[in-house]
């Protein structure tokens, strides 16, 4: 998600600083951002009157000083997210929007213990972020009105359509989508239908644009499993428990497009 969000912002003329602990990951991500920008330009998804801005990379969170906004897009684990948010909030100026791209962890849960919890809001970008214009924005109980106003200005500059929802596990999109993807994997696991047949039925009969299992591959099966686990732990609803086929693929490293194999096999620019 980080590479897609960075490509979207840079493609709209906003300079980007990409932070990761691993220099190798940053090198790979730079290449992926270039691919995303070419893809977005081919599909006319970027403004014609703005040249793409620079993307810099760093392994030091201290380089975020002076940022106009910070978007966290790390793995869906509350302790790691809270640690990253805490560290960056100690570097950036008070009143700078601090945003989590979590797909399911309540914003108020992430805000717990933050030095400036009022500065935290949620923006759930859909994948690929540089192509999907509508975003789900989450206003936590502690999110300050001025932070929400700054988030709205940022998204307006990024030409995003904003839908604001209240804070809850999974918000709206993940709460509806992720159990459907989980059920599709269960259908395949039970031998009721093949991967291809399941997707084709959802596409041709129910109007799903890509099919649930191709969508799961795009999200990343590890990300999907983490999100489902987060939802299951917070709601106790059985439909959110990741199915065995999904967990088995994650264990084998079959993570979807980013690994070259998930429910489908991929090549070219999808690795």
pLDDT digits (tens, 9 = 90+) for 74-116: 988 899 999 999 999 999 999 999 999 999 899 999 999 899 9
261: domain CATH number?
Answer: 1.10.1040.10
Buried-state track 18-41, b at ≥16 Cβ within 10 A, e below 16: bbbeeeeebeebeebbeebbeebe
Q: What DSSP letter does each residue of 124-138 carry, written as one string?
A: EPPSSTTT--EEEEE
pTM: 0.88
Tell me: do 133 and 220 sit in the same domain: no
Last residue of a domain, one of 113, 146, 166: 166
Tell me: do 53 and 136 sit in the same domain: yes
Q: Could you tell me how far CA 150 lies from the centroid of its own chain?
A: 20
Last residue of a domain, one of 105, 131, 166: 166
For residue 213, what are the domain limits? Answer: 173-270
Tell me: do 158 and 192 sit in the same domain: no
Tell me: do 123 and 23 sit in the same domain: yes
Tell me: do 101 and 120 sit in the same domain: yes
Tell me: do 204 and 153 sit in the same domain: no
Tell me: do 24 and 70 sit in the same domain: yes
109: domain CATH number?
Answer: 3.40.50.720
Tell me: do 19 and 151 sit in the same domain: yes
Tell me: do 177 and 259 sit in the same domain: yes
Q: What total of structural domains would you count in the chain?
A: 2
Tell me: do 134 and 184 sit in the same domain: no
Last residue of a domain, one of 142, 166, 190: 166
What string of pLDDT tens digits covers the 271 residues of the chain?
899 999 999 999 999 999 999 999 999 999 999 999 999 999 999 999 999 999 999 999 999 999 999 999 998 889 999 999 999 999 999 999 999 999 989 999 999 989 999 999 999 999 899 999 999 999 999 999 999 999 999 999 999 999 999 999 999 999 999 999 999 999 999 999 999 999 999 999 999 999 999 999 999 999 999 999 999 999 999 999 999 999 999 999 999 998 999 999 998 544 3
Nearest CA to 55 out of 90, 99, 20 is that of 20
């Amino acid at each position: 998600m980080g590479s897609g969000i960075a490509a979207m912002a840079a493609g709209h003329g906003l300079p980007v600083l990409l932070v990761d602990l691993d220099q190798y990951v940053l090198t790979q991500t730079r290449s992926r951002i270039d691919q995303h920008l070419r893809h977005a330009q081919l599909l006319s998804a970027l403004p014609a009157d703005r040249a793409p801005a620079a993307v810099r990379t760093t392994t030091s969170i201290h380089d975020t000083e002076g940022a106009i906004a910070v978007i966290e897009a790390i793995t869906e684990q509350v302790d790691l997210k809270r640690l990253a948010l805490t560290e960056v909030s100690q570097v950036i100026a008070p009143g700078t929007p601090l945003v989590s791209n979590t797909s399911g962890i309540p914003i108020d849960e992430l805000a717990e213990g933050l030095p400036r919890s009022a500065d935290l809001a949620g923006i759930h970008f859909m994948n690929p972020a540089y192509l999907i214009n509508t975003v789900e924005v989450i206003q936590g109980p502690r999110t300050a009105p001025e932070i929400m106003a700054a988030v709205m200005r940022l998204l307006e500059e990024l030409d995003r359509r904003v839908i604001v929802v209240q804070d809850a596990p999974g918000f709206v999109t993940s709460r509806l989508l992720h159990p459907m993807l989980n059920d599709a994997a269960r259908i395949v696991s039970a031998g009721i239908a093949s991967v291809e047949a399941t997707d084709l039925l959802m596409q041709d009969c129910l109007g799903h644009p890509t099919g649930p299992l191709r969508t799961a591959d795009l999200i990343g099966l590890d990300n999907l499993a983490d999100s489902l686990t987060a939802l299951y732990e917070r709601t106790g609803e059985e439909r959110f428990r990741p199915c065995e086929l999904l967990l088995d693929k994650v264990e084998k490293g079959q993570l979807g497009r980013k690994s070259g194999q998930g429910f489908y096999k991929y090549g070219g620019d999808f690795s």
